[in-house]
Amino acid sequence: MRPAHILLVEDNEGDIILTLDAFEESKIKTDISVAKNGQEALDFLYKRGEFENAEKPDLILLDINMPIFNGHEVLKQIKQDPNLKKIPVIMLTTSSSQKDIDTAYENHSNSYVKKPIDMDEFLKAILKIEEFWLQLSTLAD
């Protein structure tokens, strides 16, 4: 069985490191690609420029507050594209704003997870996301 491919779209270096560390602790084999802003995420998904050989991800972890294009803009584009819309997108963000939550679900986010501030809780949240989406759920091709 091939490793699950995850696209992490995150501009905070500390959160990138924590997320990568959490997946390394897991028993599930994963390949993780990182895009550090909304433009990089879209270039990755549309295989543009340096990402021309990018593999289509099985799961996307998407922050909201990022430069160039924010997470809501990226999510909207993903879910309007027939070739991308089946990829589960989990909004993983520090925002607890009801407006952000509503906008994410209106744009067809598959889940909305507020990043815990505590490092141990953050690691547990990542492992729960992984367990649900990569073990329990059946993903589309």
CA distances from 127 to 22, 55, 100, 122, 132 (A): 7, 23, 23, 9, 9
Architecture of domain 4-134: 3-Layer(aba) Sandwich (3.40)
Strand order in the sheet with 111-114: 30-35, 4-9, 59-62, 89-93, 111-114
pTM of the model: 0.94
CA distances from 125 to 101, 131, 141 (A): 17, 10, 25
Q: Say what the pLDDT of residue 1 is.
A: 60
DSSP string, 53-74: TPPPPSEEEE-SS-SSS-HHHH
pLDDT in tens, 26-37: 777 889 999 999
Q: Which residues of the chain have pLDDT under 50?
A: none
CA atoms in the 13 A half-sphere facing the CB of 109? 23
pLDDT in tens, 80-102: 999 999 999 999 999 999 999 99
Q: Give the rounded distance of the alpha carbon of 130 from its chain centre.
A: 11
Burial of 131 (0-12, 13-18, 19+ CB in 10 A): middle
Q: Taking the domains of the chain in order of start, what are their residue ranges?
A: 4-134
